[in-house]
Structure 1
């Protein structure tokens, strides 16, 4: 195989993978979250190299925090002062 043909196949493959990632992110966010979590858990196993664990923490999806008992309006602080 010619070297330029190999580069062409690599660039096309990379473009296809990138477009697939964009489609999954836009159309199936739940699937993307599960895939990121599974990959992060695999990378964060005890005994892995520190670089792989760092990559796993970076890949891990943000936690889906619960709002607690108040309903989650994020307005738990004191009321803002009214201007007179």
Structure 2
């Protein structure tokens, strides 16, 4: 696949995830008479736990990446 096609796919998936997450966060503040829309989303507690979990994972992965790539150039102890 060409890079432009892969970029469009990534942009589309990221945009869909952003719209889903944004509407998930706003849903508790909107009075909805039909309850079917609430069945499309997980409980609100997960809306706050998932970014924390992914943030911790990202910071840990970035730290490990930096540690293993920098240790060749810097002698520690």
TM-score, normalised by the number of residues in structure 1: 0.40
TM-score, normalization: structure 2? Answer: 0.43
Question: When you count helix as a share of all residues, which structure comes out higher?
Answer: 2
Q: Which has the bigger relative contact order, CA under 8 A and spacing at least 6? A: 2
| Bigger Rg over Cα | 1
